[in-house]
Structure 1
Amino acid sequence: MLFLTYWFVLFLAITLPLYLVVRRPLARLVILLASCAVFHTHFAGPAGVLPIVVLAVLTYLAGLSRNRYACGATVVLCVASLVFYKYTKFLCVNIAGSLHPDLKTYLLGSVQGYVPDLPPLAISFFVFEFVHYLVDVTRGGQPMKNVLDFSLYSIFWPSIVAGPVKRYQEFVPALRQGVAAVNSDDVVAGILRVSLGLVKKIIADNLTAFITWGAPHLAEWDLLWRWYFVLAISLRILFDFSGYSDMAIGFARMHGIRLPENFNWPY
């Protein structure tokens, strides 16, 4: 978990006070963008950052042009990148492998040097946001012209791990208001929200331990305990993702920025 590492604690201990001490909104935007770049580079590495930067630049330029063909081509490229990084090996193993074992071996060997073992950090999240942005622009929405606004919309570090997915029409005003008017109430509210997220993650981890222990014995249990097992899986999913979301919302709130709620009605 990225938010529970010594590096992250040190990162937040340096960047947040610096952000709060500086009073000028433009300076806060620059500090926030720099912290987002450091966060993403540390956890994703240069090889994981490069494709996201390329997609972000193309998305920004396509949106700025407001050309339907440019936006459509960029959407296709974003989705193709997601498929390439996350599903190439899956397709080789499950689709090609079902046709012929030798074909699977050949294709896996062919892509081995091109497809990394792990996809770029949060590439699904980035693709969803870029596609949302381009689709909205082609439907008549106003593109973001300010490079700082678009860059922070793209790589805002609190929401990278598990969302919530941001609408740019809501995020940019919240960003501008946050850098101009963040106060101690925001910091306290953010700390409380992060604490709630941590409690949920602890519950999720304990449920995971129960599920891992119980899975091999499921056939031996009676019906009631099987229902408990199903409930544990459902609650684990809820607390895991809503815990991450709470922490993302809390860390953003510490900077005075309010992200949308993500788990009011999860089921």
Structure 2
Amino acid sequence: MSQYPVKKDDFPWWLVAAATIAVVAGVAIAANDLYSQVFSVVTKGLGITVFVTIVGFALASALGLGIALMGLSGSIWLRQFSRFYVEIIRSVPILVLLFWVAFVGAPAWVAFWNWATTPLQAAGLVEPMQVRDFSLLWRAIIALMIAYSSFIAEIFRAGIQAVDIGQIEAAKALGLSRYRRFRHIVWPQAFKTILPPYSNDFIAMVKDSSLVSVLGVADITQMGKVYASGSFRFFETYSIVAYVYLILTVSLSLALRALEKRLRRSSEPRG
């Protein structure tokens, strides 16, 4: 038995305290001209932060699922490639990977594209691509996609392997194809196991999206950095930046936790 039991009926006083602080801070921002100005500047980057998070996480999920399925395939080459990819990518800091994609990978891709389309360029059908044509926003998204796909692949792999092998064998006996077994038997059960760590990675992506500011992408952090460097209001600016991120991450955490509880209740036997 756990030494520190968690009671199901514990009242979420932490949430009351957090909500109170958020409301008081919101009133203070609205009542103070300086804080209101900082808030209006910082939130101009909210759209970029949301875009980077959603697109980057969606692409990372698709790539991660593919890597996970490779790791579970019957081919030793695919399994070895999956393990190689996961171990190498997870071992590189996200910031380093961001710089590598932005300043090494992107120029290399542009050079390859120009080489591959040389005949089309000679015919006047395609214009040569410049490195500056590869936007920094998409370089950042690709870097986050690659970084997070390695973690998500391990989450998917563990969730799929947690499904009872007997049910998969029964589906095979019924003549279901591999795709239908995965869609109707494996994935619905694996998703309930995957959701908690998957949700944590999504929240982490919201916070790690701030790394795109090092490339000058105009997200929340970059807008705060620009304002603070011009006004020297570092305390006010970064307090607002932290406040905005807290509102985003705590709100997402509560929403995802509610979804987990709903799925858990729906899976419990009735009666």
Q: TM-score range by the shorter chain?
A: 0.3 to 0.5
Select the structure of larger CA radius of gyration: 2
Greater relative contact order (Cα < 8 A, sep 6+): 2
